[in-house]
Amino acid sequence: MTDDALGGAVLHAAASGHDDYFGDEAETLGGRLAAARLAASMTQASLAARLGVGVKVVSAWEHDRSEPRANRLAMLSGLLGVSVTWLLSGAGEGVTPPGEVGAQEVETGPRPLELLSRMSDLGAARAFYADLLGCAVLEGDEDRLSFDLFGHRLTVERSAPAGVAALELRLRPSWREWIALVERLRAANAQFEEEPAILNVGAPSEEGAFVLSAPEGLRVSFRAVAERD
């Protein structure tokens, strides 16, 4: 498995419903929106949560059943790192249209994961993932919560403790996300299992790393490759 996935009986990782590239429809606003979202390694659910709209709304945009209003276009531009002009017309700063991306790149690129965790205390899950890490809550009720975990979808279901120890969830946020998260955790006086550190300083493999203890015995490690000017 890759560093973005993990083994064990409690957490199950599988490829999410990773949308197909839009082929002949790439020249539409919806096709360009889908391409930009996929290039940003975001699911429809995570994008919808950031925009404050429903998943069906994002799906309708991508399938050209409706169009986002001007304020939503501005938000999409900032979230996806493309220009409003490109979204509307295909001109200007954007990403490679889905129809022009090679098959090998589509197959080997990073894919958002669906993660499932079973815990006896959903309150502790919300406190850790939402309050401490700042992950958006996508949906939930008294027995189930879903979070946007750095582009992946983590669903926590209420159940009796599994009694499985030494499980570790390995995440690779961007360098900026890693720095911001360290600052957030420091401000919250979070207790680290392994303190934030910069590894291989000055080398091409320079990266930041730290580990947190999550509820019910889960370790969560965060490693990010350093960005160079």
CB 181 within 8 A of CB 222: yes
Q: Give residue 163's pLDDT.
A: 46
User: Model confidence over 171-220: pLDDT tens digits?
Assistant: 888 888 899 999 999 999 999 989 999 988 888 888 999 999 888 777 88
Q: Give residue 161's pLDDT.
A: 55
> How many residues does the structure list for the chain?
229
Q: Which domains are delineated in the chain?
A: 19-108 (1.10.260.40), 111-225 (3.10.180.10)
How far, in Å, CA of 133 to CA of 135, rounded?
Answer: 6
Q: List residues bridging with 48 in a β-sheet.
A: none
pTM of the model: 0.46
User: Model confidence over 61-76: pLDDT tens digits?
Assistant: 988 889 898 888 888 8
Residue indicated by tokens 């900026």: 176
Q: Give residue 166's pLDDT.
A: 41
Q: Give residue 8's pLDDT.
A: 29
- Per-residue b/e over 70-107, b at no fewer than 16 CB within 10 Å? eebbebbbebbebeeebbeeeeeebbebbeebeeeeee
Name the 3-class secondary structure at 76.
helix
Q: What is the DSSP string of 12-30?
A: EEEE---PPP-GGGGGSHH
Q: List residues bridging with 141 in a β-sheet.
A: 144
How far, in Å, CA of 133 to CA of 136, rounded?
Answer: 9
CB 182 within 8 A of CB 210: yes
> Residues of the chain whose pLDDT is less than 50?
1-25, 97-109, 163-166
